[in-house]
Structures are given as C-alpha cells and as structure tokens.
C-alpha cells in the first residue's frame, strides 16, 4: 500500500491543513488524515521552522571557539548542517516518516525559504529522493477551499529544487559574511580600543549605512536663505496667489532685482493681464494593491508600527484565513482572484461605514495582470468575510492592517477620483505667474478613506475665481524669504522602501509601478528581521517613529566605510540579482559562493590597514568612549550601602551592585516594583544614600488587596517597610 507524507513548516500550518480534511487522528509529532483529495494512508508531519541549520565554525575546528585574526578567512570545504538539541525529537519523527514514504508532498510556506526548510530536512534525513514521488503544494490562502484545491492540483516537487538552491546559497553566503566579517571587525575595533562585539551582515550592514548617510546629510546640512517671487492677483475683487512660471529661486536681493529689471516688474502694486485660462478634467486612480513592503510602509506611516509588527499582524491574519499569503513582492492579482472579489463585494462593503459606489467590475491592468504574478499575488482579502465578532477578537494592529487591505482592495472597484484642474497664467510686465486650482467633481475611491481626506479644506484651499483670457487685473508682487530644508530622517516605512529600491528615493505612490522591476536589498521575507536585528544590537534607535544610528552604529559605519561592497546598496542589490539567477538556472551555487569568498579574502586583506589609517574612525572611537563613560555615570545611582565599594546601577529589571562580578561578589539588589508599586528613581537614591525613603503612597497588600502608605528602609541588606 502506498504511503504519503505531507511536510508542513510548523505545527500551526499543519493544523490548518488537518482542519481542511474530513478526518484526522493526532499522533506524537504527526497526524493521520483522510479526505477524497488525498491518497490512502496519508500522514502530515511538521518542522518548527528551521529544524536544520548551518553549523557554527567551532563544529569544523575547535580553534574557531576563540576569535583570532590568524584564523580568518573561514571557508569550509563542505558545509555542515545540524539539528538543534531542542528539535532532535521532532526531527527524528519527521526523518522516520519521510524515509518510509513513497510520496512526499512539500507543504511548507510557498516561497524560497519554505523550499530551503523542506529540502534541508529531507537532505539531512538522508531521504533517497530519486526513489520517491515528490509533489509540491502551492497555495495563496489557508482557507479550506484553497487548501483542498491545492491538494487536487499538486505541482511537481522537482520544479522547485532551483528555488531551494537559491535560498541555501543565500543562507551560506550570509553565514560566510557574518562568520568572517563579525570577528574581523570586532577584533580590529578592539585593537582600536572599542569594547564589545560587532555584527557584520551582507544585507544589514548596507542598510545601516543608508541610515548613517542620511543622518550625516541632516547633521551636515546648512540651511541656505533664498527669495521667492510671488504675486497676489485681484480680479473683480476676488484674490488668488500665483507663483513665478517657470519657478525660480533667487539666492539674494541683487539676483532678484536684476531679474525684475529684465522683466520690467517691481515690488508692490501694478497692472497685470490674464494671459491664459486652461481647464482640464483629470482623474486619479486608487492606490495599487499591497505587496508586503508597501503595506509595511503604509502602516508605519499611518500607525507607526514597525515592519516586524506589521508582518506579525499580516501573518496572524493569514493564519486566521482572512488575508492571503503575506510575503509577496507583487502588487497585482490574477483574474481568478478578481472574480471572487467581485462575487463578495457586497459582503466586504458591509465592513466599511463609508457609502461608496463600486462600479468598476471589469478588471483593470493597473491591478489585474496574470503575467506580472509569478509566485504570489498582492495581499488581498480571502473569500472568508469576517463576522463582527471575529473582527472584534483581533488585536488593534490586526484590525488596522485588515481595514487598510480591505479599503485599498475595494478602492480598485470604485470610480476614479475626478477633479477639474484650472490653471491661470497672469502676465505682469514680461513675467508670467501661474496659479493652479483643483475642484473635486467626483470623490470616487477617496470616499473609502474619507476620514483621512479633508475634502472641505481641499476645496477651500484650491478654488480659483472665474476669469477670462485678456482680462485686466491688479497684482501685488512680494518676495518671501525662505530657507532650504534638510533631508528628512528615515522612518521604518521609508527605510523598507529604500531597501526595496536599493537606496533610490521613491516616496510617491506611483513609484510602486516600478518597484517590482527594481532589484532591492534583502527579500520581502527578511527585511523586517534585518531592521529588528539592527535595533536589538543597538545600532539603530527609534525616536518618535524616526530612525537614527547610535554611537555604536556610527563606529561600525566608520569602520566599514572604506569597503564599498559592505556599504553599497547597489552592490548588494546586484548580489540579489545573481542569487535569483540560481533559481532561474542561469548561475550555479559554486559560482556565487566563489564571488563571496573572493570578496571576503579582499576584506580580510585590506580592512586592517584601512582602519589603522582612518582618522575619522580614531575620532569616532574617542567620541564613543566619552558617550559611554557619561552614560555609565548617568546610570550610577550611588555607592553600594552593603559592600561600600561597588556602585548601584540600573540592570534592566532591577538595581544591583557593580561588584557582583568581583572575586567576592556583592549580591545586593533592589527591585523596581514592590508590593504592586513601581518605585521612583528618587526613592532608590534615598534608600542608597540615607537608608530610608520618605513616606510613599500606593502600596498594595497581597493578602487584602487594600492600598497603604509606608516608608521603605534597608534592614540586614533587605528591603522592608517602615510604618513608624
């Protein structure tokens, strides 16, 4: 009897498949399932994401346990893959099932990383794949209908082998850069007098460097004054403002006066003439559908959520069967998705309070284009329309994400936003001044976002009076003094876009049209993790949604800035192109890893001398030491009242003595919270310096739950109440 095993990526994914089938029996580490779409004797098993991982350098040779420049570069002849001790039990279950199977259905996430997870498990398990039938489940939704349809239409598993090769090459190349670059720069910085471990990454380092360059541009920016010549026009007692056409800035009054003399105009009141009046009916289409990056960017802009928070929310909505597959870089859907959206339009529309007509029920190429959908389509709603109860059970961010995808998808069916654009050209002397006004004639899709669109304000700001060509008017010229503006700091949203465009600044919505054809750095699946890693390591800091590089991050940037391959987004983007060529069978894994090895050899050979000669790095090291020293003093609350030698410092979840690591450690600590009250820093300081606090309010009794007031004191090295 034939034996089929379905390999899922993680337990939750396996459960989604199990729920779609008619019957199932739970076993240790797998399920037995049956359904008309499955062959007899089918089991579903699962990994915990990456069951199999690349081994660390010391696995190859114990000398790598201690970092040393003499050990670099590290290039294993053959890469070792290991199973973590906490995952061995499940791996052995999966291994047994796969080896017994006649047919294996790869049902991990439908992307390159999913291939890597599945093939790594199968390879490590020693499965003789040539003797098996290998199939692939490829779906965009975890709804029952989509799952069953996917199992009815399984693809040939071998077709996805090149995608695994690409993902594994990315994994190995990142390992090579990290395992060589991190010890190299850490040891060189330690030689320069900087403490700590520094992390280098193929994608994370150029990402950090982009933020560093932006911060540098802001810091070095010097605002320059300029003058702008504007006209206040009055026609039949109605006024409007007009700007010089073509627009021009003047660096000083002398330049402005020369221009005015040439054009026969002067400051103040003078006569003018309406030279031309143009009226055009214009339309604006609704925003493009969301890829993961554009959704992360929009949610960050509106709600200040981080890229990883948004990804977590979209993943959760995908697993709840409400949104389609999240890790997509595509802004298009196929006619198949368009068809089910049309059928469910009225149901979706009930989820938004705005009254809007959805008349566009024929597919438009701006949104629907099967040729542009390669692996996954844009993020849209599934056929499952949530109940009010279901929506209320979602977290705040999940609701915001679902609502944003819902409105943006519905907007594709609404009329375009239409407006009449009036352009008035006024001649004053020999100079022309232009005024442009917009009057909405059909709000169209904008009604779906009405809470965000101050339409009445737009109208008040943009209506121009009725004038005719050749009409005489009065004009008053004035020069406005202005200053050039500094570049704006990155937010996580704009940084995600910058990663996707390899540093090219594309902020406007229309840029989405070309993003798909632009090679960025990182992938849709990894960018959020890259930013998270940079923040966790303390290289990037977020202040009011704006991202900046820390002193530690600046030190790293100054250390790597002479190696363009480590800092250039364009070069990293070329690597991404080369990696994609592996899955397209245009390049081999050996070819790419050979390139990476040559790069690392260059790095190991050149970095020591570069860093020794770098004056800016020497200055930065001194700056960082000063900053760290001041931060250390700031963190010190006072001398330890117990050992009288160490200092009491903030250790995160509690306050403790710096003498803890000495030969005779002092174990004195103070909590940050005591009897349900968060202790203010002033109280901690008083305890350390005076031995007691003033009377504090808001303590809560564990027995009765009642609140009470008391002093705090230190008795025999312990914190206690003083009710005296």
d(CA 211, CA 496): 11
d(CA 491, CA 597): 34
What pLDDT score was predicted for residue 460?
A: 47
User: Which of 153-162, 168-177, 187-196, 596-605 is predicted least confidently?
Assistant: 187-196
Residues labelled catalytic: 325
Strand residue runs (E) in 536-653: 540-543, 546-549, 636-639, 647-650
Distance of CA 263 to the CA centre of its chain: 51
d(CA 520, CA 577): 9
Mean pLDDT of all residues in the chain? 91
The DSSP string of 542-575 is EETTEEEE-HHHHHHHHHHTT-HHHH-HHHHHHH
What value does the mean pLDDT take over residues 189-198?
90
**Residue 115 and residue 160 in contact, taking contact as beta carbons nearer than 8 Å:** yes
Comparing 659 with 150, which gets the higher pLDDT?
150
What pLDDT score was predicted for residue 663?
A: 65
Could you give the residue ranges of the DSSP H alpha helices within 101-153? 112-124, 144-152
Comparing CA positions, the residue from 379, 330, 306 lying closest to residue 513 is 330
What pLDDT score was predicted for residue 534?
A: 96
Question: What region does 502 belong to: left with phi over 0, alpha with psi -120 to 50, or beta?
Answer: left
**Residue 169 and residue 590 in contact, taking contact as beta carbons nearer than 8 Å:** no
What value does the mean pLDDT take over residues 71-75?
97
Residue 654 has pLDDT above 90, yes or no: no
Q: Is the dihedral of CA 565, 567, 572, 574 positive or negative?
A: negative
d(CA 709, CA 700): 9
Comparing CA positions, the residue from 381, 303, 314 lying closest to residue 341 is 381
What value does the mean pLDDT take over residues 475-480?
96
**Residue 139 and residue 147 in contact, taking contact as beta carbons nearer than 8 Å:** yes
pLDDT in tens, 609-640: 998 888 888 888 888 878 777 766 766 788 88
**Residue 83 and residue 109 in contact, taking contact as beta carbons nearer than 8 Å:** no
**Residues 6+ positions from 110 with CB-CB distance below 8 Å:** 137, 138, 139, 140, 325, 375, 376
Comparing CA positions, the residue from 360, 357, 354 lying closest to residue 412 is 360
What pLDDT score was predicted for residue 122?
A: 98
**Residue 261 and residue 371 in contact, taking contact as beta carbons nearer than 8 Å:** no
What value does the mean pLDDT take over residues 199-223?
96
- Percent of residues in the chain assigned helix, strand, coil, to nearest 5: 45, 25, 35
Write the CA distances from 649 to 430, 638, 656, integer angstroms.
72, 8, 6
pLDDT in tens, 683-699: 888 888 888 888 888 88
Residue 604 has pLDDT above 70, yes or no: yes
Comparing CA positions, the residue from 416, 414, 415, 422 lying closest to residue 439 is 422
pLDDT in tens, 96-108: 999 999 999 999 9
Q: Residue 459, exposed/middle/buried by CB under 10 A (0-12, 13-18, 19+)?
A: middle
pLDDT in tens, 416-429: 999 999 999 999 99
How is residue 559 written in tokens? 């250390």
What pLDDT score was predicted for residue 1?
A: 67
Residue 459 has pLDDT above 80, yes or no: no
**Residue 233 and residue 433 in contact, taking contact as beta carbons nearer than 8 Å:** yes
Confidence band for 515, pLDDT divided at 50, 70 and 90: very low
What pLDDT score was predicted for residue 662?
A: 60
Comparing CA positions, the residue from 50, 24, 18 lying closest to residue 142 is 18
Residue 456 has pLDDT above 50, yes or no: no
pLDDT in tens, 36-67: 999 999 999 999 988 999 999 999 999 999 99
Residue 505 has pLDDT above 70, yes or no: no
How is residue 644 written in tokens? 């009288």
**Residue 7 and residue 107 in contact, taking contact as beta carbons nearer than 8 Å:** yes
Comparing 638 with 452, which gets the higher pLDDT?
638
d(CA 400, CA 302): 10
């Amino acid at each position: 009897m034939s034996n089929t095993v379905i390999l899922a990526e993680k337990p939750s994914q396996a459960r989604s498949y199990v729920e779609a089938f008619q019957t199932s029996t739970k076993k240790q580490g797998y399920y037995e399932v049956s359904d008309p779409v499955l062959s007899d004797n089918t089991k579903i098993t699962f990994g915990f994401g990456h069951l199999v991982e690349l081994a660390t350098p010391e696995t190859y040779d114990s000398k790598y346990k201690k970092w040393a420049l003499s050990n670099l570069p590290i290039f294993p002849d053959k890469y070792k893959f290991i199973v973590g001790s906490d995952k061995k039990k499940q791996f052995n279950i999966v291994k047994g099932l796969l080896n017994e199977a006649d047919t294996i259905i790869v049902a991990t996430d439908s992307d390159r990383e999913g291939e890597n997870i599945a093939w790594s498990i199968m390879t490590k398990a020693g499965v003789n794949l040539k003797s098996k039938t290998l199939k692939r489940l490829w779906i965009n939704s975890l709804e029952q209908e989509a799952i069953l349809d996917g199992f009815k239409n399984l693809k040939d598993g071998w077709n996805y082998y090149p995608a695994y090769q690409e993902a594994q090459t990315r994994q190995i190349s990142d390992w090579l850069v990290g395992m060589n670059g991190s010890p190299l720069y850490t040891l060189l910085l330690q030689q320069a007098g900087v403490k700590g471990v520094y992390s280098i990454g193929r994608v994370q380092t150029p990402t950090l460097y982009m933020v560093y360059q932006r911060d540098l541009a802001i810091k070095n920016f010097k605002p320059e004054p300029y003058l702008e010549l504007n006209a206040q026009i009055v026609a039949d007692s109605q006024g409007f403002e007009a700007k010089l056409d073509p627009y021009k800035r003047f660096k000083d009054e002398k330049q402005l006066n020369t221009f005015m003399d040439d054009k026969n105009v002067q400051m103040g009141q003078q006569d003018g003439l309406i030279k031309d009046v143009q009226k055009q009916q214009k339309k604006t289409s609704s925003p493009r559908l969301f890829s993961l990056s554009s959704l992360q960017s929009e949610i960050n802009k509106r709600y200040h959520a981080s890229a990883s928070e948004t990804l977590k929310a979209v993943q959760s909505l995908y697993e709840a069967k409400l949104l389609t597959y999240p890790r997509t870089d595509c802004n298009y859907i196929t006619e198949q998705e368009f068809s089910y959206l049309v059928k469910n339009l009225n149901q979706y529309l009930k989820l938004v309070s705005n009254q809007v007509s959805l008349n566009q029920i024929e597919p438009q190429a701006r949104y629907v284009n099967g040729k542009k959908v390669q692996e996954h389509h844009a993020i849209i709603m599934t056929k499952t329309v949530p109940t009010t109860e279901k929506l209320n059970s979602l977290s705040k961010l999940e609701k915001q994400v679902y609502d944003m995808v819902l409105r943006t998808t519905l907007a594709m069916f609404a009329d375009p936003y239409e407006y009449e654009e009036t352009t008035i050209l006024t001649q004053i002397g020999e100079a022309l001044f232009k005024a442009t006004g917009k009057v909405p004639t059909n709000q169209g899709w904008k009604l779906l976002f009405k809470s965000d669109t101050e339409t009445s304000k737009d109208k008040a700001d943009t209506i121009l009076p009725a004038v005719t060509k050749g009409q005489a008017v009065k004009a008053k010229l004035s020069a406005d003094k202005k200053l050039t503006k500094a570049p704006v700091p990155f937010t996580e949203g704009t940084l995600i876009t910058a990663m996707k465009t390899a540093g090219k600044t594309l902020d406007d919505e229309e840029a989405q049209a070309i993003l798909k054809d632009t090679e960025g750095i990182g992938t849709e699946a990894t960018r959020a993790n890259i930013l998270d890693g940079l923040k966790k390591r303390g290289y990037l800091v977020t202040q009011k949604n704006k991202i900046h590089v820390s002193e530690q991050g600046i030190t790293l940037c100054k250390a790597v800035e002479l190696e363009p391959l480590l800092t250039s987004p364009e070069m990293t983007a070329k690597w991404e192109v080369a990696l994609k060529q592996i899955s397209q069978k245009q390049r081999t894994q050996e070819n790419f890893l050979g390139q990476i090895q040559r790069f690392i050899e260059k790095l190991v050979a050149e970095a020591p001398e570069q860093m020794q000669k770098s004056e800016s790095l020497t200055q930065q090291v001194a700056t960082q030491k000063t900053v760290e020293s001041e931060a250390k003093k700031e963190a010190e609350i006072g001398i330890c009242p117990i050992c009288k030698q160490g200092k009491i410092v903030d250790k995160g979840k509690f306050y403790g003595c710096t003498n803890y690591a000495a030969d005779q450690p002092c174990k004195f600590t103070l909590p940050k919270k005591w009897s349900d009250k968060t202790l203010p820093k002033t109280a901690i300081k008083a305890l350390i310096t005076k031995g007691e606090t003033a009377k504090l309010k808001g303590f809560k009794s564990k027995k009765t739950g009642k609140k009470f007031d008391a002093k705090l004191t230190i008795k025999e090295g312990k914190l206690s109440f003083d009710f005296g």
